[in-house]
Structure 1
Amino acid sequence: MAASFHAFVLAGTGSGCGKTTVTLGLLSLMKKRGLRVQPCKVGPDYLDTGWHTAVCGTASRNLDSFMLPTSTLNALFCEQMQHADIAVIEGVMGLYDGYGTDPDYCSTAAMAKQLGCPVILLVDGKAVSTSIAATVMGFQHFDPSLNIAGVIVNRVNSETHYQLLKVAIERYCSVPVLGYVPRMEGVALPERHLGLVTARESVINQQPWQDFAATLEQTLDIDALLALSASDNLPVGEWPALPAADAGAGLTLAIADDEAFNFYYPDNITLLARTGLNIVRFSPLHDTCLPDCQMIWLGGGYPELHAAALARNVTMLEQLRAAHQRGVAIYAECGGLMYLGSSLEDSNGDRWLMADIIPGHSKMGKRLTRFGYCEAQATQQTLLATTGEVLRGHEFHYSDFTPETPAVMSCRKVRDGKTLQAWSGGWQVGNTFASYLHVHFAQRPEMLNHWLAAARNAL
């Protein structure tokens, strides 16, 4: 039977081994071949997916097994593959790194097995020869049930060096080496405190990536990669109960979307659109007029880098306060929380007045305040959850928020069965809810029913 699609996971031996750069090159290459490419990222990362989307023109999807039940995640993946010829899935951290020490919990390896996709292992070829086979063999033997179907060697100095590495790996590991990635100028991605600079902030020059793809066409066996990734078996999945198709009819949602606020899961926006909502976008940085709306979403991003401009846009701040006062249902995540607070102190120590909807003050620090997966249980009725409901999400921020109103969520980080941290977070003021937590709506679609109901009740 002919394969109906292709899919593979590009995994690494650890963070910083070049997964994102090589993924972007492969996305550009596959697009150049005329394939309909669906980029994906294992885990909650917004930055890598933004670069995926910018380079190949198709919205990258997050595959997050902490936030999403297996059946739901599989259903999302299958839906995307209805419109794609190939899925290029970038792993997270090292192949077996997950949440805690269980390699089958929230790891790249676990995701590959869940979706039934082969793994292409990216290994570092710098300053090594035969020893590279020991690295590959260790990854093979750690979980013999995992299909490591091929190897790509990164940072190779010459064809001679590559041949030495290839012979060693194939001789001792019996796995095909699909080629190598040479060092190239112009394809490194810019970084800052949260990781990569967002693709939204950079003018994407496609030429270096097209040149990189042309190089990979010469140094990788793409036909072999496509043969190894051919499949006609999608994973079994089922959608949870979703809001009615007309649940949002007659309502307008305004989404903040500019250089300061742009961290959104495309799946979340798709789920909202399925309710019949009218979705419009606006810029807290550049617009002086808030769209006529009954709902507002302020996502994550880098408001601290644009604090002066946000503070100067007094008209927008006034319109947001007026919307809050008339009961518009406002939801804010992370950067959105900082914007809705009373003030924001940036990394230079300058303090800027913000919307003052959630009384409290944000201050940037020099190290991560909190990061990683966590659970949040509502201790009272909120915009997204009723009392007792638990949301799963992740936090990743250098800022700290000092509130002047009681928190409405009880949060905790549990790893390997032990509670590592417990804290309070999330603030509900009127019809506005804001927290540091980033969530995927598909984990509990009832969240959308709560939000829509809050919007309608305020009419």
Structure 2
Amino acid sequence: MVRCTARLVIAAPASGHGKTTVATGLMAALSSRGLAVAPFKVGPDYIDPGYHTLAAGRPGRNLDPVLCGEALVAPLFAHGSQDCDIAVIEGVMGLFDGRLGSRGFGSTAHVARLLKAPVLLVVDVRHTSRSAAALVAGMSSFDPDVEVAGVVLNQIGSPRHEKEVRDAIAELGIPVVGALPRTLAIEAPSRHLGLVPAAERDDSGIRAMGEAVAAHLDLDAILALAGTAEDLACTPWTPGDVVAPPSARRPRVAVAAGRAFTFRYAETDELLVAAGCEPVIFDPMTDPSLPDDVSGLWLGGGFPEVHASDLHANHTLLADIRQQVNGGLPTVAECAGLLYLCEQVDGHGMVGAIPATAHMGARLTMGYRNATSAEDTLLGRIGETVTGHEFHRTVITDDADATATRRFDPAAWILDGRADGIATATLHASYLHVHWAGHPQLAQRFADAVHQHAAAVECFGPSGPDVWHHGDRDLRAGLVDFAVNVRRPRPPDWLMEELTRDVDWASYPDATPARKAIAAHHGVEEAMVLPVAGAAEAFTLIARAIGGSSLVVHPQFTETEAALLAAGRNPQRHLLRADDGFALHPLDVPHADLVMVGNPTNPTAVLHTSASLRQLEAEVVVVDEAFMDCIPGQAESLISADMTGQLVLRSLTKTWALAGIRAGYVVGDPALIRLLTLQQPPWSVSTPAVTAMVACLRDGSRLEADALAREGVFHRMDLAERLHQIGLSPVPGSAPFVLVDTSPICTTSLREPLAGKGFAVRRGETFPGLGPSWLRLAVRTPSQHHRLVEALAQLKEETCTQP
């Protein structure tokens, strides 16, 4: 026999009598007294527990015999009420209303019997007086195993009205422990799926409920009623008894929360922790990306349809999730999560990992469901059945038929004979909510997949190139930098003096001088020029301004694709071949409205001819010439007086060591430049960037840049020759970096072994079309080349095996 917390079930004859107001207010009032209150909700409801959490300061939990089984109700209660003074359990619907056709299974009365808990009955008496006593009499005698221990009157109209009702109920011998007047304005607002979640409101409403309950209910009498509950013979539920860590790792699982994702059972997180995972909360409305180093994604219930525009506006996160889900990140998505992964919700673009759209439907879909797996998937096993709950007013549709529910193959579940959602070995997306405490094998399978994903990333890197990766992420303190393609360690002294002399920092920046300098430097009209805050801003403006289909020629600087993904685009990739020297054959490139290519290309250093670029079949061709000023003479530049349908990006970062200033520009078709200008935020190009552009494009600066470019040619030849001497074959190219396949030394990445010897390099697997044995090496000085190649030669002599 285990002594369980004093407890009380808050019930009503039907929905709408004020259970949530009284239960939430009672939790808040008792908490204000300094008591530790354990909050519970009968049934699958996920909105009320949010209010309970705010009121009690502890996680609101659900008690549901249908979802978890009768035998688990008391252990889950004991688990959630440990170290508390009192437990308040809000009922569901009417006291005896349970699953249809089950004689009240899963009802409030059912849970009260399982917990041996007295019931406090809330009765709305606004349209009755003495008849309320007859209602209470019937409720109290309907089931002799359910004790109606007290009554709260709600919606009292006057003192006379209250006395009439109290006197009638007194004849039953059941105490009335309080009465709430009709004039209280403390009800929670509602919308299409019930109450507005607590996460979308401030806590003033909770405080008001607590103050009203404290003022109008006899808290001492209620505590006394709760103290009459019998002991329970049960052992508290422990998540570690039903799941276990499959490895010694502690992989992180991103868990959606915030205003749009307000629901998950408290036991979900506890099971993940017990299975060796670390849940990490993120907000899909505000966080720009998933948390770092996650090996799983959990998207629960909520209201993406209400917050669709805000979710859609977070382009970078949508792109990040799409990439990672499509790349095999183990993902569970329930209801709201399913909608979020679709292409659209009510016309607003979403993640797009699931080929379907969703919209608000005409009717509510709600009820318990028996769910069977038709195939082995991330969570399910063929023929296995679980019980869950469905609650939504949205419909997922096929583009070809906006009235028909989309059928996926394979479906996540077969719900009482119909297909629901989609599931694979790494994705399980469904309308169904499942309480994992009742089906812990689902939690274990998800955790197993998360641990496996973490192990794969640890050994072989992410599944697919990380288009958000940049060379500066490969740097570490004390390492010689061969990872970042900046030619100098700092800007020249004369440029530093220009940047800090006579600058009007108090005024808003004016890019006009930069535009004039750029136009004069290239011999084009000012209407063909747009100064930008580095190439990164230019990529973003292009992705937003120029619609239609898009294609990126790879291997390529991945910020191009990242910008398209962030704008909600899904670009094609055209891969150039290593066995062909990464040459561009324009007739082999598929047609697209927008084609983006580098020249000379990062990371290959291959310089394509301007003639081949002009042969690309596209409405708009964007050429990233960030390294063109490192090519003596810049002979293959696409910049000219006539650039119809063309845009060229330039950067001052590489030659002049201005990565921190963000100084770049776009030259091209005036009509396209206007489109980009409309997307550019005011004053995005800073005053130092304007100063830098003017200074670096003067004739004298051009001569210095040409000299540095010629020096870079010889330094590149030096690095390439040294690599040849140890049996490596770098890709022939022209830019101040070298791409080399190190598989003759080791078939896995040498990035970490080289870091151990003091060198930072850019890993090849972060570029589409390359693998982990490829390295991109920035050109440095001959003495630094000697040290790097010596380290590679040492690694060649050492034993190097795959993990």
- Helix, strand or coil: the match of 2:363? coil
C-alpha change, 1:133 and 1:248, in structure 2 (3 Å) is: farther
> Which residue number corresponds to residue 411 of structure 1?
414
Moved more, 217-226 or 235-244: 235-244
> Which residue number corresponds to residue 80 of structure 2?
80
Question: Contact 2:64–2:106 at 8 Å: present in 1 too?
Answer: yes
- Helix, strand or coil: the match of 1:447? helix
C-alpha change, 1:157 and 1:211, in structure 2 (3 Å) is: same
Question: How far does residue 248 in structure 1 lie from its aligned partner after superposition?
Answer: 7.4
2:383 matched to 1:388?
A: yes
C-alpha change, 1:431 and 1:248, in structure 2 (3 Å) is: farther
Distance in 1 of aligned mates of 2:95 and 2:121: 8
Question: Contact 2:372–2:414 at 8 Å: present in 1 too?
Answer: yes
Question: How far does residue 285 in structure 1 lie from its aligned partner after superposition?
Answer: 1.5
Q: How does 1:43-54 map to 2 (within 5 A)?
A: 43-54=43-54
Moved more, 103-112 or 239-248: 239-248
- Helix, strand or coil: the match of 2:437? helix
2:356 matched to 1:360?
A: yes
* Identical columns (%): 38
The structure with more strand, counted as a fraction of residues:
1
* Letter paired with 1:112: A
* Letter paired with 1:45: D
Question: Contact 1:5–1:232 at 8 Å: present in 2 too?
Answer: no
- Helix, strand or coil: the match of 1:189? coil
Question: Deviation string for 1:56-86 (max 9, x for gaps)?
Answer: 3211111111111222222111112212110
> Which residue number corresponds to residue 178 of structure 1?
177
* Letter paired with 2:285: L
> Which residue number corresponds to residue 418 of structure 1?
none
Distance in 2 of aligned mates of 1:169 and 1:124: 14
2:219 matched to 1:222?
A: yes
> Which residue number corresponds to residue 30 of structure 1?
30
Question: Contact 1:17–1:123 at 8 Å: present in 2 too?
Answer: yes
> Which residue number corresponds to residue 233 of structure 1?
231
C-alpha change, 1:17 and 1:313, in structure 2 (3 Å) is: same
Question: Contact 2:51–2:206 at 8 Å: present in 1 too?
Answer: no
* Letter paired with 1:226: L
> Which residue number corresponds to residue 336 of structure 1?
337
* Letter paired with 2:376: Q
Q: How does 1:130-141 map to 2 (within 5 A)?
A: 130-141=130-141
Question: How far does residue 11 in structure 1 lie from its aligned partner after superposition?
Answer: 0.3
The structure with more helix, counted as a fraction of residues:
2
* Letter paired with 1:192: R
> Which residue number corresponds to residue 249 of structure 1?
249
Distance in 2 of aligned mates of 1:366 and 1:54: 33
C-alpha change, 1:214 and 1:427, in structure 2 (3 Å) is: closer
> Which residue number corresponds to residue 194 of structure 1?
193
Distance in 1 of aligned mates of 2:137 and 2:428: 50
C-alpha change, 1:114 and 1:432, in structure 2 (3 Å) is: same
C-alpha change, 1:214 and 1:262, in structure 2 (3 Å) is: closer
* Letter paired with 1:423: R
Question: How far does residue 212 in structure 1 lie from its aligned partner after superposition?
Answer: 4.4
Question: Deviation string for 1:198-222 (max 9, x for gaps)?
Answer: 11111221xx544543443343222
- Helix, strand or coil: the match of 1:398? strand
C-alpha change, 1:362 and 1:4, in structure 2 (3 Å) is: closer
Question: How far does residue 4 in structure 1 lie from its aligned partner after superposition?
Answer: 6.6
- Helix, strand or coil: the match of 1:401? strand
- Helix, strand or coil: the match of 1:72? helix
- Helix, strand or coil: the match of 2:345? strand
Question: How far does residue 407 in structure 1 lie from its aligned partner after superposition?
Answer: 4.0
* Letter paired with 2:199: R
Q: How does 1:441-452 map to 2 (within 5 A)?
A: 441-452=436-447
> Which residue number corresponds to residue 318 of structure 1?
319
C-alpha change, 1:260 and 1:4, in structure 2 (3 Å) is: closer
Calculate the aligned-residue CA RMSD, in Å: 2.0
Distance in 2 of aligned mates of 1:150 and 1:247: 52
Higher relative contact order (CA 8 A, sep 6+): 1
Question: How far does residue 318 in structure 1 lie from its aligned partner after superposition?
Answer: 1.5
Distance in 1 of aligned mates of 2:258 and 2:247: 28
| Unaligned ranges ≥5, structure 2 | 398-405, 457-803
Question: Contact 2:412–2:428 at 8 Å: present in 1 too?
Answer: no
> For this pair of structures, how many residues does the alignment match?
440
Distance in 1 of aligned mates of 2:208 and 2:348: 43
Question: Contact 2:261–2:336 at 8 Å: present in 1 too?
Answer: yes
C-alpha change, 1:185 and 1:228, in structure 2 (3 Å) is: closer
- Helix, strand or coil: the match of 1:45? coil
- Helix, strand or coil: the match of 2:91? strand
Question: How far does residue 409 in structure 1 lie from its aligned partner after superposition?
Answer: 4.3
Query: Which residue among 421, 426, 435 is the counterpart of 2:421?
Result: 426
- Helix, strand or coil: the match of 1:50? helix
The two structures have a TM-score, normalised by structure 2, of: 0.53
Question: Contact 1:191–1:197 at 8 Å: present in 2 too?
Answer: yes
The two structures have a TM-score, normalised by structure 1, of: 0.91
Distance in 2 of aligned mates of 1:439 and 1:218: 39
Question: Contact 2:14–2:95 at 8 Å: present in 1 too?
Answer: yes
Query: Which residue among 348, 370, 373 is the counterpart of 1:375?
Result: 370
Question: How far does residue 412 in structure 1 lie from its aligned partner after superposition?
Answer: 3.8
Question: How far does residue 277 in structure 1 lie from its aligned partner after superposition?
Answer: 1.2
Question: How far does residue 184 in structure 1 lie from its aligned partner after superposition?
Answer: 4.0
- Helix, strand or coil: the match of 1:391? strand
> Which residue number corresponds to residue 461 of structure 2?
none
C-alpha change, 1:262 and 1:247, in structure 2 (3 Å) is: farther
Question: Contact 2:312–2:348 at 8 Å: present in 1 too?
Answer: yes
Question: How far does residue 232 in structure 1 lie from its aligned partner after superposition?
Answer: 5.8
C-alpha change, 1:289 and 1:26, in structure 2 (3 Å) is: same
Question: How far does residue 19 in structure 1 lie from its aligned partner after superposition?
Answer: 0.6
Distance in 1 of aligned mates of 2:102 and 2:86: 29
> Which residue number corresponds to residue 10 of structure 2?
10
C-alpha change, 1:142 and 1:101, in structure 2 (3 Å) is: farther
Question: How far does residue 361 in structure 1 lie from its aligned partner after superposition?
Answer: 1.6
Question: Contact 1:248–1:275 at 8 Å: present in 2 too?
Answer: no
